[in-house]
Every structure is written in structure tokens, then in C-alpha cells.
A and B are shown apart, each in its own frame.
Chain A
Amino acid sequence: MQAKENNQNLKRYTIVTAMDNEAGVLSQLAHLFSRKGYNIETIAAGWTVDQNVTRFTIEIFSDDERIKLLCAQLRKLVPIHYVEILDPSKAIRRELMLVRVHAADKAARNEIIQIANIFRGSVIDITPDSLTISVTGDDQKTQAFETLLKEFGIIELARTGIVAIERGEM
């Protein structure tokens, strides 16, 4: 975060990497980022078609030279299979956001449901005075949705962090 505030030239990068699915790999990975001075903006992990391999999507702020060094350093970690920086023009980036929002009366409930529909969100829980909605999209979409819900009063909000994949070649 600090680096981002001090230097406006930094860009957001999406790194995808795969590691052996074993105890301690997350701390190895996260530790490398912190000791090279990075704050991880988002990190999401899960196994791939091979349950022995965990794939991480990590987003950080950096610049074109430093990101190359960071990737070279990541590649030295023994459990690492590969490290790639996704090209933003080819990357599909998604996160899931769950948000519970105040809906004290019928009008508020209707309005929230309408907004959720526009965002292709779904209502997954309802109580007399709240709604819980899930929405997926890139960080801009989830951010916009969050902004629109703010006036109703957000009770709780959770994001998974971005997962990303490269588009297939046409």
C-alpha cells in the first residue's frame, strides 16, 4: 500500500502461479512478496485439474522492471511450477462478492433487487430487514455495486479476491 501511495507510476499486475499443493507453500509465496517490499492487493488460491497443484492469482502494484525481477525470484522457489504475468488485454478477471445490506422496508428491498438484477447478482438470503446478495465480476464491477449499495447501509461485505485466466486464442 505504501509503495502505491508514494509512487503514482505503479501499475496493477496480475500474476498467476502454480505450486505444489503442500503445507507451507502459501507462506513461502507470501513471504517473498513482503520481503521484496510488496503489499499483496488480492490473492486467491485453489487446486487445478491436478489436486496436487495449487494455482494462485495475485495482484500487486509494481513497474515493468521490478515485476520481472520479482517473477525471477518467484521462479526460484522450489514448489513453483510456473509464473506468468497476465496481459490485461487478454485476461479474464473475476471475483465473487457477498454483501449483506439493510433493507428495512419494501421500497428499499425492491430497489436493491433491481440494482442486483442489473449487476446479474443473485439474492441468496432474505430476512425482514436485510438482503444478502452475491455478485461476480472484475474489481470495477464489484466496486460499482458496492458503491450503489452504500446508501442502504452495508452490514457486512466479503470478497474472494481476483481469479484470472487468459482468453483462448481465436
Chain B
Amino acid sequence: MSNTSRKLNGSEILIQCLIEQGVDTVFGYPGGAILNVYDKLYDHKEIKHILTAHEQGASHAADGYARSTGKVGVCLATSGPGSTNLTTGVATAYMDSSPVVFITCNVNSDLIGRDAFQEVDITGVTLPITKSSYIVSRVENLADTVREAFAIARSGRPGPVLIDIQKNATASECEYYPVTPEEYFMSTGTRIERLKNTHHPSVGYPDINLEAIDELAELIDKSEKPLLICGGGVVRAKASQEFRTLAARMDSPVAITVMGGGAFPGDSPLKTGMIGMHGSQASNMACDACDLLLAVGCRFSDRVTLNPAGFAKNAKIVHIDIDASEINKNVMTDLHIIGDAKKILNLLLAKLKHDKKNDAWKNYVFSFKRETEYDDVEGTLTPKEVLSAAAEILPQDTIVTTDVGQHQMWAIQHFKFDYPGQLITSGGFGTMGFGLGAAIGAQAGNPEKTVLHVTGDGSFRMNCNELCTEEFYKLPIITLIFNNSALGMVRQWQHLIYNERYSQTTLDRGPDFAKLAEAYGVHGRRVTDVATLRDVLKEAVASRSDGKGWVIDCRIDMDEMVRPMVGGNSFIANFMLD
């Protein structure tokens, strides 16, 4: 620990603590209660602050930044509405285990509880959607709280943390000693010491049950019809390489959850595709027939398992997860191993006696379609044509962010993701309006990469105000709108389940998205045929260096559906749509 102590005010201490953590980019929006912090930020040009149009945009941007860089995202907002505007972003990050530190400021300590102007109990509001939340009322507690918040956000099962600093604590002074994250993690007398010593799940990795590893190796050896599920935990644990090796050595088909996208190569012959409600026939039929289901870092959400009673009914179900509270939550398992997926998979690989060959089983699984064959419709632009053109013309390592709905499912089905962090989507919370903010974060964190934002007309309208952020910071994001003049996914359910009673899902209204884009100072085009689309995409790629984003409004048919589909709570092999 360095002995160079200085007396600093809380705002400067906060910024010094961000620098300790290696933070160079933050997203946020100023306001009255957080004025002191923004005043200090004015002197620190080494921290790039991206000002969004709305705090929700900043929250999604910090999340997208975290998911695409593997670093902790940071988001600043003021008290009251500034902080409540973050909440959808906090919940989105929480459901998808994304490490983001949200920093809000509140009114002065002496005003707390008096319903002061812009006062709200934001730690209370965010209690169920954060890993931990903190109130800082004294400057002396600030530095260690920030250090603890970062340690908790990135450790164990990652997730969002919120720090609410009362305004007086940003103004008053105390001694500040710089401490690196490593020094802090080894410090004594701090809460982190207790958390570490007790293997608290918020920071620690539990001791791995080695007997369970032996048992799993045995199950793999005996299995003739294995199926692997690649979940978001493989992405977060950076265990993609180990997972790929395991799949190859088990010679096992691999189904991928929405959150697992990118952790297993999209063009692998072992890939069965997405699993669950809009899972491929190969994935869902394999799940129904397998004798061993090994799920890594997935939480068996209802969109994956559908009716849990019939899920993988012939299989021994084995669950590897960092979070003990996910075990036997949605699906009862035969064996589980709690811990870091990377470590567990390495231990498991060392225990596998020999590599397997499962040709008969693979022949069965891959006799079912792993990709949906969407029809071409003469004279109409189809989602398939839009995605094929994007996949062909944009670089292979393009980061894809999505909003929520039909376009999200089409994009995940169609693109062949290669690396963890390539697909950024709101899988758990299903947040419409996530995509543009997330794309801003991803582009800010990965300036050299192309960022594609796939959205629908409903989702895009929710937070399209962030086009001004995209324009100002010269982020050349390509937005593809699947514009069917409807809330397509809800309409699909109304079509299939509600007797075509299209209640409030027809979006027969403006704006003209191309003109809107031009008004914000980015390129806007409307396309109705694939040849024009291809030309526009090529122009977008060629013009990247001018730093101007693109909004490409693709007009598609409103009756186009996501296929296949299994109805909610139905059995996984019971397709409602092929």
C-alpha cells in the first residue's frame, strides 16, 4: 500500500477510486445532487464521459460496454428521476449477470427523509435487482465502498452494484490513500476480508467438489446420447475454449441458449442451434431424446425448458453453475457442480479417460433441422434476406446488439457468432430499447470493430433518442430496423393463440425513421428490396471512417413469424410451428 496520503474531497476520491480500477470510460447524465462529481470530472480528461440523451440509455451503454469488453461498466446519474431512470438498465444487467457499477448521488444527509427536491430511496428501489447496494453518507466510507462495489460486481457471478452517495459526502474532505484492486482484495479489517475468508458467493469461488467431477466423467463415459447446453455462464467465466474442447472430446451436439451466443462457434458441425421456445428442431429433439444433459452456466429459464416436468425426460441432468441458488431452482438435477466453469471444465477434461465417438446419435440429432428454412417471398424483403446480406457484407467479427422481439430471435438464429461478447442481447429481462444504448457502449469500448444494432420498429422507437449520442461521439453504429409496422412477437402470439385479435400491436404510425436519422445527423435510408439493402450496407462499411452511423429502415411483412415455436409450458419437442 502506498504511503502517499492526500486530503481530498469526496468527488475527487470517487474519481481516484475509478482510476484505481482502471476505468477510462463512463456513461452518465449530470444533475443537481451529482454536481460536485461532475465538477471534478471536468479536470480529469483521462476519463472519457459519454453523455447520453437519457439515463436509461446510459445504463444500457454501460452494460453493453461491460459485456463487450469484459471490464466493469460504470454509469453515473443524479438523484431522484436520474436514478429511477436507471432502474430498467439495472434490472437488465442483473438478469444477464453483467458487471456494472451504478453511481448515483442523493440529497444532503440533513435532507434525507424529508422528501427533499429530487430525493428518492434508490438503494431501496434497486434492492431486488442488484448484487449489492450501498448508501454513503460520510466521505470516510467512500473509497472502500467503491472498491468493494467493483470487487463484488466483477467476482463470483457478476452483476450490477449501486452506490448512492449523499451530496455532502462528495464535498467534504478526508485522507485518501491509493489502493490497487489487488491490494484491496488482500486487505485486512475490511468487509472484503470477511467475504473472502468465508467464501462468500458474492466474491468467492466455492471449493469445487472433486468427487462430483469424477462422477461426471463417469457419466460422460457411459453416455451414448449426450447433449451439452452452452449458457451465458460460459461467456462470463471466459470458459469458451474449455467448453469447445469438451464438446469435441465428448463428440456431443451442443445447444446454445440466448445468453450463450458466441461462446460456441456458430459454424461448428456439433452446433444444434438455439434451444427452447424458438429453439431449432435439432436442439429440442436432442434434448427430448438425450441420455445425458450437461448444462454449463445456464439457469434453465422457462424460455429454455418450457414445461420443466418433461424437460430432458430420458436424461441424467447435470448442472455446472457458479451460483448455488440456481441448482434445482427450475429443473431438478441428478448431479451438480458449483463453481467457476473454466476451472470445473479444466478439471473435468483432465479426468476424461478417452475421447468419444457418437456417430449414430449425431446422425439422429442432425436428421432434424438445425436452422429454420425461411421462405423467400417474391417482391418482399424478408428477415432472412436482410440478415443474409448483413452476414455477408459486414466483417465476420461484427459485434451484434439487439432489442427484444422477433428481430432478436431471427438475428440469433441466423448469425454465426464466433466469440464471447459478440452477441449482446437482453436475454433475461427482455428489455425493449436496450439495443441502441448497448451498441453505443459496445462501440465506445471497441472502436476498431463494426457494431451492428438489430432492432424492430417498436423497440427502436423506445430509445431512439440515443441517436444524438451516436452522432456526437462519432460512433459509426449500423442500425437495421426490421420494420413490420407491428409489435411482431406479440402479434405472433395474438395470431397463434388469441384468434388474430390484434389488440394494440399495430404500429401504423410514424416516424419516418430515415428522416429521423437525418434529423439527428446520421445516415438514414428506407429499403424495400434486397439489392438496395446490399448497396446501402456496402456504403455503410465503406464510410465507417467518417464516424457517422446508419439507420436502415427495412420494410418487412407484418405476418412474418419466428419459427419454430413451442408454446409456453408445453413440452419441448411439441412444436406449435415447424
Contacts and interface: CB of A to CB of B under 8 A. Distances in A.
A78 B132 contact: yes
Contact of B195 (A23, A31, A73, A78): A78
Interface string B200-234: 11100000000000000000000000000000000
Nearest to B159: A76
A73 B200 CA distance: 12
A76 B194 CA distance: 14
Given A73-B325, A78-B202, A82-B198, A23 B132 contact: no
Given A20-B191, A23-B135, A78-B200, A35 B128 contact: yes
8 contacts: A27-B127, A28-B127, A73-B325, A75-B201, A76-B201, A78-B131, A78-B132, A82-B198
Interface residues of A, number: 19
A81 interface: yes
A72 B131 contact: no
Interface in A59-103: 65, 68-69, 72-73, 75-78, 80-82
B155 to A, nearest CB: 11
Nearest to B201: A76
Contacts of B198: 81-82
Contacts of A31: 127-128
B324 interface: yes
B510 interface: no
Contact of A24 (B123, B131, B201): B123
A20 B192 CA distance: 12
A76 B325 CA distance: 8
A69 B325 CA distance: 5
B448 to A, nearest CB: 37
Given A65-B328, A72-B327, A27 B201 contact: no
B6 interface: no
Interface in B116-144: 123-124, 127-128, 131-132, 135
Closest 10 CB pairs of A and B: A72-B325, A78-B132, A72-B324, A73-B325, A78-B202, A76-B201, A35-B128, A31-B127, A69-B329, A75-B201
A35 B123 CA distance: 16
Contacts of B202: 76, 78
Contacts of B239: none
Interface of B: 123-124, 127-128, 131-132, 135, 152, 191, 194-195, 198, 200-202, 323-325, 327-329
Nearest to B203: A78
B388 to A, nearest CB: 43
A123 B430 CA distance: 61
A144 B328 CA distance: 40
B26 to A, nearest CB: 23
Interface in A14-45: 20, 23-24, 27-28, 31, 35
Contacts of A28: 127
A24 B201 CA distance: 20
Given A31-B128, A81-B198, A24 B135 contact: yes
A148 B144 CA distance: 56
Nearest to A32: B128
A159 B490 CA distance: 51
A31 B123 CA distance: 13
A95 B140 CA distance: 40
Nearest to A65: B328
Contacts of A80: 200
Contacts of B135: 23-24
A27 B133 CA distance: 12
A78 B152 contact: yes
Nearest to B137: A23
A26 B202 CA distance: 19
A28 B152 CA distance: 17
Contact of A69 (B127, B194, B195, B328): B328
A136 to B, nearest CB: 33
Contacts of A35: 128
Given A24-B123, A35-B128, A75 B191 contact: no
A74 to B, nearest CB: 9
A104 B325 CA distance: 56
Contacts of A24: 123, 135
Interface in A111-161: none
Report which residue of B128, B323, B325 has the largest number of chain A beta carbons within 10 angstroms of its beta carbon.
B325
Contacts of B191: 20, 78
B82 to A, nearest CB: 21
B36 to A, nearest CB: 23
A72 B324 CA distance: 6
Nearest to B156: A76
B483 to A, nearest CB: 38
B179 to A, nearest CB: 19
A66 to B, nearest CB: 10
A37 B198 CA distance: 28
A75 B324 contact: yes
A81 B194 contact: yes
Given A76-B202, A78-B131, A78-B200, A27 B124 contact: yes
A73 B127 CA distance: 14
Contacts of A65: 328
Contacts of B329: 69
A72 B322 CA distance: 12
